[in-house]
Amino acid sequence: MKPATAMLLDGTRIAAQIKAEVAGEVRRLVSSGIRPGLAVILAGKDPASAIYVRNKVKACEELGISGELQQVEDSVSDDELVQIVGRLNRRDDIDGILVQLPLPRQVNAKHVLTEVLPEKDVDGVHPLNAGRLFTGRPGLIPCTPAGIIEMLKRCGITMDGRHAVVIGRSDLVGKPMAMLLLENNATVTICHSRTRNLAEVARQADILVVAIGKPGLVTPDFVKPGATVVDVGVTSITDRKQFDQFFSGDAAREKSFAQRGSTLIGDVHPKVAQVAGAITPVPGGVGPLTIAMLMANTVKACRMRRGER
């Protein structure tokens, strides 16, 4: 297998920088009598969601933020979740509320998310915050796209005048990602599952952001040589045939797969690293940035709501 030539965009390193800055802000707020508070609502016992929530609460503890978990059964109703959100909305010590997705099938996620006060919406999904982003006004921005912009800036990757292609149109990643790239003067194309000639469109990108949820979808023929590729996807592989399809000849992955029985892959095929100029790894790319920006959003929400006494 030809060795990867792309520069790895180390999300873990950038996330550590952001967390250190957030920790400094928290210390300053605490010294003035204010401790930022984040509440995370977890419905059900989905293993992946439980890991994500545990990591978020742990990050709060590390940075001096008050982290609180509200866990409910997967049989929870819309009304019950709305009541929990309402109680958290009324608490002055809670600056940020995050409803962990996905929610159980019987719950209307958009209804519940809209009940979170916009000033406490640290996921940036409330229509008011989406509107602020769309019109270039200050507000809370979805964590993953915000983290990607921070990474591009801190790694010295210019967006001004570049052609950016975003594959994916979700409210949480694809759409806000496109708006943030526009704010940074990129020319943006949004693609999705019904885009015709997807590989041809993607190949025009100087910056390619992939958030479509299909493991290994983007292969080398999707990528312009030297392009920056940001892989938002993450899927756990446990099947041996699927592992060989993506990682055949990768000794390090082989060893890890043999020990754990699984490995992670993004939406971008590993061989893209032979074509791209810069690429985010999976794991260790976008994932750590999401949690770091959640911490940053919690502190931002605190300052916007309560100021500094």
Closest CA to 158 of 133, 185, 180, 140: 185
Q: Are 276 and 228 in contact (CB under 8 A)?
A: yes
CB 135 within 8 A of CB 175: no
Q: In the chain, helix, strand, coil percent, each to 5?
A: 45, 15, 40
φ/ψ (deg, to 5) at 233: -70, 155
**Segment (H or E) for 17:** helix 11-31
Quick one: CA dihedral 159, 164, 167, 170, positive or negative? positive
What is the C-alpha to C-alpha distance for residues 232 and 18, in angstroms, rounded to an integer? 19
Query: Which active-site residues does the annotation give?
Result: 56, 100, 123
